[in-house]
Chain A
Amino acid sequence: MMDELELLKQDWQKKEGHLPKLSYDQIYKMIWKKSSSMVKWIFYISIIEFVFWAAINIIFSDPESMQELKAMHIYNAMMVLNFVNYAIILYFIFKFYMNYRKISVTDSSRKLMKTILDVKRTVTQYVWFNLIIFTITMIISIYGVLIYGPEGKEITESAIQQGNETTFWFMVIVVSLVFTAVLLVLIWFFYKLLYGILLKRLKENYNELRKLEV
């Protein structure tokens, strides 16, 4: 039987003559327009993230807070943390840049999708890394404030005087944990939403191509 698909192919090729035709000038104007591709959006969002977390770091390392840290005996711990932090941030900037450069529209579809998803994965790792650093900083700070900080001393002393020291420390730990957990979930949700919307279709297509290779 004459296949319907063959028929369709013939029809498809016959329709070429009916396609719109753009002039040289129309096309020339187009090459100077701005791209609105997804990669660009991912790139912008990532840059904003880098700047955001770097700003948080800088804000919290002014000389005054450094003095406070010294007073609370956690200066050294914080410095080590800072050093590790900056080293890893540099590594991320490098990796992010390399990933981004690898994106090439002339790759095969599957490879292109993979590179884009890699960029996204680097950004996600960067965000998680920041959250972990943030959490560790919080824990060290809470410890410093409670043990050495003037207000902290007062609070702990009054708690001890009232005779419920264990309950007090238990409460401190629970409150810190809950606070950190809520923060983490919120941020996780935010990223899920942000990249979820941006990458949903890409992910589906990529998985479809990957499934074939099994």
Chain B
Amino acid sequence: MNKELEHRFVTELENNQNIVHKVCSLYTNDRDSHNDLFQEITIQLWKAYPKFRGDAKFSTWMYRVALNTAITLYRKSKKRVQTQDYDSVIFKIKTDEYDDTQEKQLKLMYNAIKQLGDIDKALVFLYLEDKDYAEISETLGISEVNARVKMNRVKNKLRTILNP
């Protein structure tokens, strides 16, 4: 019985691990911390898994646990203090499909996101993941109107950084 649960959980996580990796890459700046946070999120997911009823999609449920762990439960150690050296997985990849200006702009944008606060980062993340306001508001625990207001503020903030 337990073995079956383990197997089901690990398989589902293996298939959906991208979500966790993306959260990690936003909230950490180097590979060690990335792995560290991934580990912690995995533990939290596993601890909560017996209560997962399957009435939501596994991935939806994962967004919530992953973000909560990154924002609320995870203790950043000293080495995770923000640095300018964006070594994380996502930001190292070359975007060769774009011309130089666009690539530069995207880089600037990612850098800007990295400097946002924990909550703003979560908003941007859910936006990038194409989540609707209903899900965003439910994940963070604020009303839809407030989620909208806050999202607009964050977007404007990012735009200002890009077009000073």
Residue positions of A touching B, CB distance < 8 A: 4-5, 7-9, 11-16, 18-24, 27-28, 30-31, 33-39, 41, 104-113, 116, 198, 201-202, 204-205, 208-209, 212-213
Contacts and interface: CB of A to CB of B under 8 A. Distances in A.
A37 B69 contact: yes
Contacts of A35: 40, 43-44, 47
A119 to B, nearest CB: 12
B134 interface: no
Interface of B: 6, 9-11, 13-14, 17-18, 21-22, 25, 38-40, 42-44, 46-48, 51-52, 61, 64-65, 67-69, 71-76, 89-90, 93, 95, 97-98, 102, 105-106, 109-110, 117-119, 122, 127-130, 138-143, 146, 149-150, 155, 158-159, 162
Best-buried of B73, B97, B127 by chain A (most CB within 10 Å): B73
Nearest to A21: B17
Best-buried of A5, A27, A198 by chain B (most CB within 10 Å): A27
Contact of A36 (B22, B75, B142): B75
Contact of B14 (A15, A23, A106): A23
A36 B162 contact: no
Contacts, number: 156
Contact of A4 (B6, B22, B47, B105): B105
Contacts of B90: 15, 18-19
B142 A110 contact: yes
8 contacts: A8-B106, A8-B128, A15-B93, A24-B14, A30-B38, A31-B6, A37-B43, A213-B142
Contacts of A11: 95, 98, 106
Contacts of A205: 71-72, 117-119
A116 B127 CA distance: 27
Best-buried of B38, B74, B75, B127 by chain A (most CB within 10 Å): B75
A31 B10 contact: yes
A38 B158 contact: no
Contact of B89 (A19, A112, A212): A19
Contacts of A111: 141
Contacts of A106: 48, 51-52, 61, 64-65, 68
Contacts of B117: 204-205, 208
A20 B42 CA distance: 15
Given A5-B155, A23-B14, A37-B40, A108 B140 contact: yes
A80 B63 CA distance: 53
B40 to A, nearest CB: 6
Given A31-B6, A213-B143, 9 more contacts: A19-B21, A19-B25, A37-B73, A106-B64, A108-B138, A108-B141, A111-B141, A205-B118, A213-B146
